[in-house]
Structure 1
């Protein structure tokens, strides 16, 4: 094992230890030792059905944090760096979210021109028409003659919010919903993740950000909105590349649904629901909620809105699954991907929010252990996870 691998393994173990320390699940020392010898933390004991007969069917926390990190090798950066992933998905432009710019050291760097397109004619930019007129979309007001003027990030974000009303600011690296800021414009200032900010405080917040992407806020379609309107409700699909058959496959998929506990996001670990998706029909199972202590809560209807969850079907599921597999097939050098997508209409339209190189598995395996599927087990064995 080389120095680089040792370093990353040590970092992964540190992350695993931190997860155990942050767990609010009480376990006896004897039980904790039993779990640790098998690679699990206490939180997983409360989510999974772990006993001497069943634990071997689950991808353990050690395997997830340490070994699945290695599956994509040097290409993991294509997923962990959200801007590189955005570029990688360029052939699938209809399914990409717009990335307006990058904030770095207080400076705004334009990235995507799909909403800010300027056609150069006769040596100069063409005029832009207003949104909805059929012409090129309107430009936000420019705060300076040069878009990369030092220290202009806050003004550029404010200018963009004048056009879009809502934006998502997210760190270029990292996942799990951490470091994601949902920003909106209000009559007397701004909101960030539901909290009010006067303009001066909002400017300070943006000015202090570093390595953050300024992204469009994707409007979800009628189906995810009906599940819970107060949060974006994303689908997580895990794809694996089968080297023997030379094709990717969907190993598992869940519909994540926000709650009052998880808002403004839909994260399972923060109290959101996870409903298993039937890979053939798109039908949802009951929503699982992480334990407050011991035992997973199961909900056939949403605990806040009382809307049905179990038995509902994702509209356009066949197209969603087929398109995600097409994306995975275009990148066989990245064999292991956790895709986060938002359904945008009832015809199978969707937008990819991001992708993960070693996706979290609790919200997946709460429904059934991944290794119970022989094809999934073979994939993990081929890549040294098992």
Structure 2
């Protein structure tokens, strides 16, 4: 009995220390929030949206950056309360997944976990830390020059990207053929590649996944991915798709399909039942949304095109979300292949603009209930 009491007391003591750590994490999150708020305000003041003072004040009152307020067309019509605002997103989204937020944001850790779950994802080769390569399956390290020699043999094609990051920033498409090295599809010297790798820090190295014919027809120069957001419904104990969009690159967004305002990428909404695409949307430097039925450069049709094998994609993603029920909010980045698909990464706080340019999220009762369950807020 004394032994049992001792164990209970020890566990209670350990839990107390863990509570202290949680307090430190809460403080860290508050500091992070203040820094984000500062950056949000600075960015908003820097953007030239040409909004009137009336609409600028209305945007701020409802928690929106003026840029996104204009992107959503709220300067013309619409109810701001039906949208997830920038302030709400910044205040609450990192809290939804709790400590697992860090797991999903870490592309290396989440990639390994997806692989363990049998989810199709690019093979991880290793990490680059301060210019040194750490292979996943070997107990050794390689400086940049040896990494190029050992890991990038002729015929090899790799993707390098920051472990933590978004919007495709820092993405590197690195290949080698009989003619030499290629960086983002351009021929470069070995010395240039070596110097670049030496400057990389906290980068994940994976195999490069080649998109299928459907995506190539949309725009061949970038990998065009589906962003599919799943939420966990605590009342029904099942995942559902909050929204899915097809992200399509342009010459301005190259080498990725970056939709982030001003970077040129397109977003086309996917009908969750049929897989049919709506028109592609992009945003100019003032926050104005522009819409295309055909790709502005490849001229390939967008609106009305149906995502191949959509039923399989939808079914399997809901299954995968169920395996991660303890992570209730995930944005999945999916690359369609000629056979099947690959999940390139997950996102713990998937951006709202690429989703809500197609309309507000909170008109869906399930999504609204999801946020209310987590935050007790009246949206």
TM-score by length of structure 2 reads 0.86
Judge conservation of contact 2:154–2:177 (CA < 8 Å) in 1: no
State the shift of 1:67 in Å. Answer: 1.2
Match runs of 1:177-216 below 5 Å? 177-185=168-176, 189-193=180-184, 196-216=187-207
State the shift of 1:83 in Å. Answer: 1.1
1:32 match: 56
2:264 match: 271
Q: Could you tell me which of 35, 41, 52 is aligned with 1:17? A: 41
Q: Could you tell me which of 80, 83, 100 is aligned with 2:108? A: 83
Q: Distance in 1 between matches of 2:195 and 2:169?
A: 20
1:139 match: none
The number of equivalent residue pairs is: 350
Judge conservation of contact 2:282–2:291 (CA < 8 Å) in 1: yes
Q: Distance in 2 between matches of 1:354 and 1:18?
A: 29
Judge conservation of contact 1:188–1:198 (CA < 8 Å) in 2: no
Offset from partner CA, 1:280-302 (integer Å, 9 cap, x none) = 11010111111343531111111
Q: Could you tell me which of 299, 304, 320 is aligned with 1:327? A: 320
State the shift of 1:223 in Å. Answer: 0.6
1:137 match: none
Question: Which residues of structure 1 form unaligned runs of 5+?
Answer: 114-145
Q: Distance in 2 between matches of 1:105 and 1:268?
A: 29
Q: Distance in 2 between matches of 1:287 and 1:87?
A: 33
Judge conservation of contact 1:96–1:351 (CA < 8 Å) in 2: yes
Match runs of 1:373-384 below 5 Å? 373-384=364-375
Alignment of 1:289 with 2:282, yes or no, is yes
Q: Could you tell me which of 297, 302, 305 is aligned with 2:298? A: 305
User: In structure 2, do the counterparts of structure 1 residues 154 and 357 end up closer, same or farther at CA, with 3 Å as the change threshold?
Assistant: farther
Offset from partner CA, 1:248-271 (integer Å, 9 cap, x none) = 100000001111111111111211
Match runs of 1:37-52 below 5 Å? 37-50=61-74
RMSD over aligned Cα atoms: 2.1
Q: Distance in 1 between matches of 2:250 and 2:175?
A: 20
1:58 match: 83
2:226 match: 235
Judge conservation of contact 2:68–2:287 (CA < 8 Å) in 1: no
